[in-house]
């Protein structure tokens, strides 16, 4: 049974539509990450679930109850804010226990639950401090404790980690994951950071321009991006995208020197059409210039990542990234060849941006143009 | 701008010193005059060395002006007005900042415009209202013909009356509304992050609860600053208390000063008048000194 059901939800400010009809089912206990660039409507969607933002159209159901007209407190959600939103004049214990106090929980029980929560988030030693006397990570924990203590049906996270430094972010990420495993409550986590999204989510919801582009497990989203946008947005470095036409022999032609034969049987509908071809940086290799079957390129610049390197090459104006794990050395300006594994290419319609499945891999579901 | 040359420093200090002298000199004369006996205070020029009659003069002023009662009245008056201003303006600003209702900005500007209409400008109508606080409602009933209707139907003459003259209510109530305070509070509320209100909402607290539990405690520095300013302002009110209270039981200290000033043909005992002044100016001074630490913080910075 689904814990949250979002049906055709829309949001418009005055005449500006920011969310255009979103449908989403979230199962009980699931950890959903909504991923998208800033301004894509992901936070608005979250705030509509929380009840902080009015719903302009559609329905939101939480736990089998239509919540469109319910106040936030009646929805059984707890929220962690980006800037934590701790009450500055209250101690950590008062911050965590405030919701219980409002709910009229007797003091003895309140103290006990606050203490238990503090233990979960590792704040036992700081219960008497004010938020101003805490570090960023500790404040983050208070914000989480405040959410946990109410034992809500749904946790909502609004980019909670983006105010932390990189190292702490990784640590808190692991902690949120652990917490979710332990509490098992349905969670919706909004972020623009794809690493966060990939590592945390049971399923990802990729949003763009107020619409859902794709819903799927992190592996699905990474390996089979449903749209050109998802292909470009998910993965670091971004997927290389080239626009070109398919010739009679089923070969993708970017320009005279750069042709990529498509794998599998030739789809007759594609012949002669312009199309977008995508290759992940990890699916390409660098070989010596002039190797048969390779695409000629020059080395533009090299990003050192420690574990590996990303070589950005130049296809006469188009940048093409190749991830390297070996120690081969290149200099800027070197002519090289780029070798692409035909099994690792993605095709997208140039008009709609939708994924085109090749007959060999998915014969039944080839999207028509 | 940071400028550090010996000459510039010296100029600064001289200017500051002159300013200080200008402010302190009258005060000094009050203090010195209050210490002399009647003969010394009337010699020309008055000696600028303190005399020895300070306590006798203070005692005389206290008795003659009935300052015990009047100071109590003053404290009651200034304290209630200041507290009322804080409470009312914090709630008015809360409504304006946190609620979206039609005419919200209009309300704010209407309140703001009253800054241009101080008590002195509207003293006659305000007095008329204080004389019968229900007069406006009576006028509405008369104009709309409701009182005519009631008279014809039931034979009863509608006459609403609630006189506020010679009462603490009349003294205090018309002074409680404040545009300055509302504006100060509005600016403070605008600096409170929206997420705080949202977090409180998620925690299940309603508007009143949010105001009482979170906004009001957060505004403490603001509150103290406003209270201090308004206490001093109310303490120094003269025209309104003079007008509305004819019964000496409701008189306040500042208006009482008039009774200490020697009349044209009376005994020119300025020493007693100055001693009385000294007593009356002490309370606001003490309040400012006690509150100044928070007072400055409330005006210049927001809560960290």
pLDDT in tens, A143-174: 999 998 988 889 999 998 888 888 888 888 99
CA distance A137 to chain B (A): 18
Binary contact (B202, A50; C-beta < 8 A): yes
Report the alpha-carbon angle A355-A358-A360, nearest 5: 150
User: Which band of pLDDT confidence, cut at 50, 70 and 90, is reported for residue A367?
Assistant: very low
Partner residue opposite B198 with nearest CB, options A52, A88, A98: A52
Flag whether residue B100 sits within 8 Å of chain A, measured between CB atoms: no
Nearest CA in chain B to A156: B202
Q: Does B214 touch chain A (CB under 8 A)?
A: yes
CB contact under 8 A, A79 and B204: no
Cβ separation A79–B209 shorter than 8 A: no
- Chain B residue numbers touching A98 (CB-CB < 8 A): 200, 203, 205, 213
pLDDT in tens, A229-262: 999 999 888 899 999 888 888 888 888 888 888 8
Kindly report the CATH number assigned to the domain that includes residue A84.
3.40.50.300
**Rounded to a whole number, what is the distance in Å from the CA of A126 to chain B's nearest CA?**
19
Q: What is the pLDDT of residue B43?
A: 82
Q: What would the pLDDT profile of A289-316 be if each residue is shown by its tens digit? A: 888 888 889 999 888 888 888 999 988 8
Residue A368 pLDDT grade (very low, low, confident, very high; cuts 50, 70, 90): very low
The first and second tokens of residue A328, run together, are 């081969």
pLDDT band at A2 (very low <50, low <70, confident <90, very high): low
- The whole-chain average pLDDT of chain A stands at 88
Q: What is the pLDDT of residue A5?
A: 92
User: To the nearest whole percent, how much of chain A has pLDDT over 90?
Assistant: 44
For the entire predicted model, the pTM comes to 0.79
Same domain, A167 and A310: no
Residue A360 pLDDT: 52
Would you call A20 exposed, middle or buried from its count of C-beta atoms within 10 A (0-12, 13-18, 19+)?
middle
Are A155 and A199 in the same domain? Answer: yes
Averaged pLDDT of chain B:
87
pLDDT score recorded for residue B299: 64
pLDDT reported for residue B304: 40
Hey, are the CB atoms on B198 and A89 less than 8 Å from each other? no
Asked whether residue A217 falls in the same domain as residue A288, the answer is no
CB-CB contact of B182 with B94 (8 Å): no
CB < 8 Å to A78, chain B:
202
- What is the pLDDT at residue B74? 93
- Closest approach of B32 to chain A, Cα-based (Å): 47
Quote the pLDDT of residue A261: 84
Query: Would you state the pLDDT for residue B142?
Result: 82
Q: Which two tokens stand for residue B5?
A: 């040359």
8 Å CB contact of A98 and B205: yes
Same domain? For A213 and A265 the reply is no
For residues A79 and A194, state if they share a domain.
yes
pLDDT of residue A143: 92
Whether residue A183 has pLDDT greater than 70 = yes
pLDDT in tens, B81-134: 999 999 999 999 999 999 988 988 898 899 888 888 888 888 888 888 888 888
A174 and A199 belong to one structural domain: yes
Residues A342 and A360 in one domain: yes
- Taking CA atoms, what residue in B is nearest to A151? B203
Judged against a pLDDT cut of 80, whether residue A266 lies above it is answered with no
Chain B residue with Cα closest to A154: B202
Out of A231, A254, A271, a domain closes at A231
Residues A219 and A314 in one domain: no
**Domains with residue ranges and CATH for chain B:** 1-64+261-304 (no CATH), 78-227+239-244 (1.10.3720.10)
Please, which residues have CB within 8 angstroms of residue A18's CB and are 6 or more apart in sequence? A11, A12, A41, A44, A210
Domain co-membership, A282 together with A139: no
Of A192, A212, A231, which residue sits at a domain end? A231
For A96-113, how does the pLDDT look when each residue is reduced to its tens digit (9 = 90+)?
999 999 999 999 999 999
* % residues pLDDT > 70 (chain A): 95
With an 8 Å Cβ cutoff, are B201 and A99 in contact?
Answer: no
- State the Cα–Cα distance between residues A50 and A191, nearest whole angstrom: 16
User: What's the CATH number where A296 sits?
Assistant: 2.40.50.140
Question: Per CB distance under 8 Å, which residues of A are interface residues toward B?
Answer: 50-52, 71-73, 77-79, 81-89, 98-99, 102-103, 132, 146, 150
Range of the domain at A332: 240-365
Q: Which positions in chain A touch B205 (Cβ < 8 Å)?
A: 73, 98, 102
B199 near A CB under 8 A: yes
pLDDT reported for residue B300: 63
Side-chain-side CA neighbours of residue B271 (13 Å)? 26
**Cβ separation A146–B217 shorter than 8 A:** no
Q: Is A102's CB within 8 Å of B196's CB?
A: no
Helix axes A92-102, A136-148, angle to 10 degrees: 20
Per-residue pLDDT at A248: 83
C-beta atoms of A103 and B214 within 8 A: no
Range with the largest mean pLDDT of A203-217, A269-283, B131-145: A203-217
Whether residue B195 and residue A87 make contact (CB cut-off 8 A), yes or no, is no
Identify all chain A residues contacting B195, using CB atoms and an 8 Å cutoff.
81-85
Interface test with chain B among A81, A129, A131, A133, by most B beta carbons within 10 Å = A81
Of B196, B201, B202, the CB nearest to A87: B196
Contact check, Cβ <8 Å, A52/B203:
no
- Position A359 confidence tier, pLDDT thresholds 50, 70, 90: low
The rounded percent of chain B whose pLDDT value lies above 70 is 96
pLDDT level of residue B147 (50, 70, 90 thresholds): confident
Statement: residue B250 has pLDDT above 90: no
Q: Among the three residues A188, A209, A231, which one is the final residue of a domain in this structure?
A: A231
The answer on A329 and A226 residing in a single domain is no
Sequence-ordered list of residues with C-beta below 8 angstroms from that of B90, at least 6 positions apart, any chain: B181, B185, B215, B216, B219, B223
Same domain? For A214 and A137 the reply is yes
Q: What is the pLDDT of residue B1?
A: 59
A97 to chain B: closest CA residue: B203
Please report residues of A whose CB lies closer than 8 A to that of B220. Answer: 89
What is the reported pLDDT for A86? 92
Question: Average pLDDT in the A6-28 region?
Answer: 90
Q: A220 with A249, same domain?
A: no
B192 touches chain A (CB under 8 A): no
Give the list of residues 6+ apart from residue B256 with CB closer than 8 angstroms, or none. Answer: B65, B66, B67, B70, B276, B280
What's the CA gap between B291 and B302, in Å, rounded?
17
Q: What is the mean pLDDT of residues B237-256?
A: 87
Name the band, by pLDDT with cuts 50, 70 and 90, for residue A47: very high
Of A261-265, A293-297, B221-225, B266-270, the poorest mean pLDDT is in: A261-265
Q: Count of domains in chain A? A: 2
């Amino acid at each position: 049974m689904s814990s949250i059901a979002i049906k055709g939800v829309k949001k418009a400010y005055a005449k500006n539509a920011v969310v255009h009809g979103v449908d989403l089912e979230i199962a009980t206990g699931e950890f959903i990450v909504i991923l998208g660039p800033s301004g894509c409507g992901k936070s608005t969607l979250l705030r509509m679930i929380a009840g902080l933002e009015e719903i302009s159209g559609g329905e939101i159901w939480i736990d089998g109850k239509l919540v469109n007209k319910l106040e936030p407190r009646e929805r059984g959600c707890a929220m962690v804010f980006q800037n934590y939103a701790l009450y500055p004049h209250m101690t950590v214990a008062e911050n965590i226990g405030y919701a219980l106090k409002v709910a009229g929980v007797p003091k003895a029980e309140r103290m006990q639950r606050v203490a238990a929560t503090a233990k979960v988030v590792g704040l036992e030693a700081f219960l008497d401090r004010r938020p101003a006397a805490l570090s960023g990570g500790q404040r983050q924990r208070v914000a989480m404790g405040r959410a946990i203590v109410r034992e809500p049906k749904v946790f909502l996270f609004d980019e909670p980690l983006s105010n932390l430094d990189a190292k702490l972010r990784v640590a808190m990420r692991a902690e949120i994951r652990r917490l979710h495993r332990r509490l098992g409550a349905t969670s919706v986590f909004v972020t623009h950071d794809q690493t966060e999204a990939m590592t945390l989510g049971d399923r990802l919801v990729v949003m763009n321009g107020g619409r859902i582009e794709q819903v799927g497990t992190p592996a699905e989203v990474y390996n089979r991006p449903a749209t050109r946008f998802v292909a470009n947005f998910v993965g670091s470095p971004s997927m290389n995208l080239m626009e070109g036409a398919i010739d009679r022999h089923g070969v993708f032609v970017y320009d005279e020197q750069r042709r990529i034969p498509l794998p599998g049987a030739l789809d007759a509908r594609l012949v002669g059409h312009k199309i977008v071809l995508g290759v992940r940086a990890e699916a390409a290799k660098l070989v010596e210039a002039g190797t048969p079957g390779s695409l000629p390129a020059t080395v533009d610049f090299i990003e050192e990542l420690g574990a590996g390197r990303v070589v950005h090459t130049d296809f006469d104006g188009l940048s093409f990234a190749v991830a390297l794990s070996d120690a081969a050395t290149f200099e800027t300006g070197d002519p090289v060849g780029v070798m692409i594994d035909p099994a690792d290419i993605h095709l997208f319609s140039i008009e709609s941006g939708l994924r085109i499945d090749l007959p060999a891999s998915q014969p039944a579901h080839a999207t028509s143009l | 701008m940071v400028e550090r040359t010996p000459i510039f420093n010296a100029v600064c200090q001289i200017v500051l010193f002159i300013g200080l002298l200008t402010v302190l000199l009258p005060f000094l004369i009050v203090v010195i005059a209050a210490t002399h006996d009647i003969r010394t205070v009337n010699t020309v020029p008055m000696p600028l060395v303190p005399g020895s009659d300070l306590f006798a003069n203070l005692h005389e002023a206290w008795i003659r002006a009935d300052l015990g009662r009047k100071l109590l009245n003053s404290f009651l008056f200034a304290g209630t007005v200041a507290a009322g201003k804080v409470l009312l303006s914090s709630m008015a600003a809360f409504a304006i900042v946190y609620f979206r209702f039609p005419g919200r900005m209009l309300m704010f500007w209407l309140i703001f415009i009253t800054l241009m209409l101080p008590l002195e400008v509207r003293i006659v109508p305000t007095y008329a209202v204080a004389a019968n606080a229900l007069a406006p409602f009576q006028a509405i009933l008369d104009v709309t013909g409701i009182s005519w209707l009631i008279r014809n139907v039931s034979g009863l003459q509608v006459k609403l009356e609630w006189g506020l003259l010679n009462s603490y209510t009349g003294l205090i109530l018309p002074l409680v509304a404040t545009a300055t305070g509302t504006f100060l509070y509005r600016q403070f509320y605008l600096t409170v992050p929206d997420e705080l209100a949202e977090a409180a909402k998620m925690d299940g607290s309603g508007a009143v609860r949010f105001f009482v539990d979170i906004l009001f405690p957060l505004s403490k520095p603001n509150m103290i600053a406003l209270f201090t300013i308004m206490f001093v302002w109310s303490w120094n009110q003269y025209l309104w208390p003079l007008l509305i209270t004819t019964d000496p039981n409701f008189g306040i200290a500042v208006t009482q000063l008039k009774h200490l000033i020697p009349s044209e043909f009376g005994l020119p005992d300025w020493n007693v008048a100055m001693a009385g002044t000294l007593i009356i100016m002490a309370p606001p001074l003490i309040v400012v000194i006690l509150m100044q630490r928070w007072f400055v913080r409330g005006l210049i910075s927001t809560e960290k």
